[in-house]
Every structure is written in structure tokens, then in C-alpha cells.
Structure 1
Amino acid sequence: MINFKQLHHFWSVARAGGVVRASERSGLAPQTLSGQIATLEASLGVTLFRRQGRRLVLTETGEMVLSYAEEIFRLGTELETALSSRATGRALPFRVGVADVVPKAIAWVLLAPSLSLPEPIRIVCREDKLDRLLGDLAIHKLDVVLADSPLPPQMDVRGYSHKLAESSVSLFATEALAQTLKGEFPGCLHEAPLLLPGPDAAVRTPMLHWLEDRRIRPRIVGEFDDSALMTAFGEAGAGIFLAPSLLAEQICRQHSVRRIGEAPEVVEAFYAISVERRLTHPAIRAVSRAR
């Protein structure tokens, strides 16, 4: 059976980047830390570190053990927080990062199940670029990140992507703008003013390919990193804009626009990205179960 005290010493050294630095942070002698790690390696029958000049670097096995250790000790911290919140009657914090390309209404639909839990939950939402949110997720400043794509493979972040929902894309316009369009959908989009999501949005490239395949060339009059800002411009009549079809009724009602057509081949998916393989935070589990 794994000695969790020794595992914690290994985790501390790996995170600190060396025995001396971990010793300074923990107050334990370097010899004590080295001895504990050597005992752990002997009991597991593996090598966790190798020397590279004067530095200690993780072996491939060490990298794997570290990923498990991070999850184990993160769960321990989360358990303490949950028990403390329950004992004091305080709401359990649920820290969510929302990528700025995710429509606000979609974020609400995905997160709403967490508000129906028997234990009180306090949602703390932060909106930003996906890469910055993933950086905060990696150091446990966030519990989960909502995004329109899985964890990018080039990101140096250990994480897992859980698909929550997917939807085709529809296009919307004000009544006044819709009246100026010529012909049937989708041909009416040719040379019509179009608002597009920015280059970070996963749906942008499939939408452009969909238009190109049909030889439709709209006039792109605006590009927006923030989906809410794109919708605001669309509501003002600046151009046709796109949004998930599952929000069509809500968008038409709230923004006084009409749906002019649907692109069923263009599918937008939404993910919860977490640092854990198995979801343990009760709010994240509620969000995942509702998909």
C-alpha cells in the first residue's frame, strides 16, 4: 500500500523543482526528503527522478505518479473545504472559468443544474481567454473551465475534457435587415452583411467552410471575440449573426430578431475542462449529469 506521507514528500519536491527548494518551503532537511523519496521508489519498484546535471527531473513514470498525486491531494483539499462548508453552514464555492467565445446563455444553461443541489453552492464565474483560464485551472484557482473545444493538445496543462452539449448553428437578423435579403436561405446570405466570431472560436472555421462549399460570399462587416458583443451588434442591425440553434427561441425573444435559417452541418460543442479524470466536486457532477 502506498505511504501517502512519502507520496506527499515526492509531490512537494516535484512541484518545487528540487529537494533544496522543497526543503526551504517545508522546513524538513534535504536528507529527510531524499530518504523519504528513496523509500517510496523502493516500495513501488520504480524510479521517479533522474539526474540531469545538477538538477532532478522526473522520469516518465515520475510524471505519471505526479499526475495521480496532484489529483489525490487536490481531492483532499476539496474534501476539507466541503466538510468545513457543511459544518459551518457556508456555501461551497464553485469556481468556474468561462471562455469568452462561449455564449452567456449557453453558460447559464450548462451551469444551472449546480444551483439545484441540496447543499448550498456559491458560483464564482470568471470570463477570459481560454489559455489564461487553463493556466488558472492548472494551479487550482478554478474548479472547471467551460469552453467550445476540448483541451488543446499543445497546452502544457494536465486536464480532461467532458462534453456537455452540442448544437447546430442558426443565423439571425433583425426584421428590417431580413427584409432586404434576396432569395431563399442560404443563398440570401451572398453579399449580405455578416458578423463572425473571432479566430479563437471553434465554430468560425466550420462556418466559413460551410459558406465556401455553397459558393456563398457574404460581406464580413465585423469579427468579435466576445459572443455577447456580436449579438449586441446583430440586435442593432449591423449584420446577420450566428448562435447555437438550441438558443433560437430565447435569442429571438430577448433580442427582437428572427431566425433566417439553420446550418445543420455546422455543429458547435461545449466542454467542461477539469484537472480530474473523475469529476468529484458536487457542482461539476451535477453539471455533467445534466448533459
Structure 2
Amino acid sequence: MDWLNYHHLYYFWLVAREGSIARAAKLLHLAHPTISKQLQQLEASFSEKLFDRAGRNLVLTEFGHTVFRYAEEIFSVGRELQDAVRKKSGSRPARFEVGIVEVLPKLVAHRLLEPAFQLEEDVHIVCRQGKHDELLAELAVHRLDLMFSDAPVSPTASVKAFNHLLGESGLSFFATSQFASIYRQNFPNSLNAAPLLLPADKTAVRRDLEQWFYTEGLRPRIVGEFEDTALMNVFGQDGVGIFSAPTMIEKEICHQYKVRVVGRTDAVCERYYAISVERRIKHPAVLAICEDNSSL
């Protein structure tokens, strides 16, 4: 392939975004066969399939996902160029792509990201969520500028990356008013046989919680385990069980989920890391995050 046909790429991007050729054709005011033919030409130029069929729907192949990510960035830059021309300004916002490990509570991620949104210069922030190893791989090939995690990169990791400790927090336990009034007394012994919602297995906080339970001789009744901490909090709000979250966002949890604090412990400590592939940070958004959050 000597050159890229951006018309074909644009049609592909729109089909992938809309989920079907029919919806893309309607937006483009083109016939269904016209778009189908141009998609076939794009696939031929790549010598790779971009879509698979799943019933009536088109599903991106693994290669299709890769092309879509590049197309997203290409057309995003194109939109920024149009905005710059309309404003008669040669500058465009600095793009800042950050990966957030999926087990990190959304309210913590929001707190960590706040400094980047408060910069005087324009910054276009893109947040991506995923598993630690997946995001680390994206960071290694510079598809991310930074990633937030609850665990540092291991010294034995194949990716050379640097850990920047942003802060740490003890853990608070929350429940509905009814549960809180019952289990607040004699905490943490009150957690024995108490209905408990826990983060997913193999997460750093889950391991630390289990160690704390063992040390304190506690045997709570586990009624649910969650990869998504926001979903765990919703079930806690509904009275299914007691759940935990970092003490640093205690007020926000109580306000958002209408729950009360059952108790607190500093024996279980969550740490938050910014991980970068550069030792000396240069990106203005990364600098703002690391400097502002250093006192968490």
C-alpha cells in the first residue's frame, strides 16, 4: 500500500462508530452498495479484514479495532484543524491521553485528574479504562501519556516505566443508615458475619483486605464481588451489604450514594500511582497532576 485513501478510511470510521452500513449511509446520504464497495477496497489495500458478521451486525476484527483507534485520532486532529481555522488561530489544544486501571474508584480518578482540567492552557483530555497490563502496553508504545494505577509497575516488568506515587488513603466502610446503626458499634469486630461487598479477587485492595480480616480474626459474610467499584457502591446503596472505599473520598461517597460511615481503618492503605515512560516529566498535564496530587 503506497498511500492511504482517507475517503475510504472516513467511511470505515463512520460505519464502525455507527455500528452498521445502513446508519452510516443515511448520515452520508450515500447508497448502501457504495459504502460496502469502498470498505472492500480499504480491506483490499490493507490485505486484512476490518469487520466480521454477527447476525445482521458488523463487528470489528482485532485489526479493525487497531485501524479504528488510528482513525479516531486522525479525524479528531482534523476537527481540531477546522476549529483552529475558524478561530484563525494556529494553536490547538495539547492532547493528553490517560489510562485508568479499571479497579480504581471513579471518584479517585476524578480527584487525580482535576489538576489537568484546571490548566490555563487548552488541553484535550482523553480517558481510557482497562486492565493494568493492557494499559501498560499502550503506554509503552506511546498511545498513552500517563496511566493511573493502584499498584506500581513491577521491577521485573518487560516495559521500562517509572512510578510516581501521588498519594495514599486509608479505607472507610459504608452502608445504608439502617445497616450503619447496627454495625457501627464495636467496629471492626461487628464485621463478623456481616454482609460484605468486596472488590474483585486479585486486586491490591482485595489482598490487603483479606490480610486485615485474617489479622483481626474477622470472618465477614461475602455476598458479592465486583470488578467495577461503582457497581459495588450501587448495590451497597441498595442495602445489599457493607462496602469499602478510600477515606479520601468519604464525603463524596456519602453524598452521592446516600450512605453513612460504618467505620475506618488505616491498616488497609490504598496507594495511587501515576506511571509514565519518562523519568523527567515534560507534558504540562502530567506535571500538573504529579505536583498537585503530591500532598494527597
TM, length-normalised to structure 1: 0.68
Contact 1:105 1:247 in 2 (8 A): yes
Which position in structure 1 is the counterpart of 2:22? Answer: none
1:51-62 matches, within 5 Å, as none
Which of 149, 155, 161 is matched with 1:147 structurally?
149
1:130 matched to 2:132: yes
Which of 209, 212, 216 is matched with 2:211 structurally?
209
Which position in structure 2 is the counterpart of 1:236? Answer: 238
Which position in structure 2 is the counterpart of 1:188? Answer: 190
1:89 matched to 2:61: no
Which position in structure 1 is the counterpart of 2:108? Answer: 106
1:194-273 matches, within 5 Å, as 194-273=196-275
Q: Give CA-to-partner distance per residue, 1:79-114, whole Å, 9 cap, x none.
A: xx9xx99x7232111101000111111111111111
Provide the C-alpha distance between the structure 1 equivalents of 2:124 and 2:93, rounded to a whole number of angstroms.
Answer: 6
Provide the C-alpha distance between the structure 1 equivalents of 2:125 and 2:119, rounded to a whole number of angstroms.
Answer: 12
Which position in structure 2 is the counterpart of 1:276? Answer: 278
The total of aligned residue pairs comes to 208
Provide the C-alpha distance between the structure 1 equivalents of 2:176 and 2:106, rounded to a whole number of angstroms.
Answer: 20
2:129 counterpart SS class: strand
Gaps of 5+ in 1: 1-80
Provide the C-alpha distance between the structure 1 equivalents of 2:140 and 2:230, rounded to a whole number of angstroms.
Answer: 27
Cα deviation, residue 231, structure 1: 1.1
Contact 1:172 1:242 in 2 (8 A): yes
Identity value in percent: 44
Q: RMSD in angstroms over aligned alpha carbons?
A: 1.8
1:157 counterpart SS class: coil
- Kindly provide the amino acid, as one letter, of the partner of residue 215 in structure 1: G
TM, length-normalised to structure 2: 0.67
Contact 2:180 2:261 in 1 (8 A): no
2:201 counterpart SS class: coil
Q: Give CA-to-partner distance per residue, 1:171-213, whole Å, 9 cap, x none.
A: 1111122244384111110000111111242111111111111
Which position in structure 2 is the counterpart of 1:160? Answer: 162
- Kindly provide the amino acid, as one letter, of the partner of residue 103 in structure 1: P
Provide the C-alpha distance between the structure 2 equivalents of 1:253 and 1:118, rounded to a whole number of angstroms.
Answer: 30
Cα deviation, residue 235, structure 1: 1.2
2:124 counterpart SS class: strand
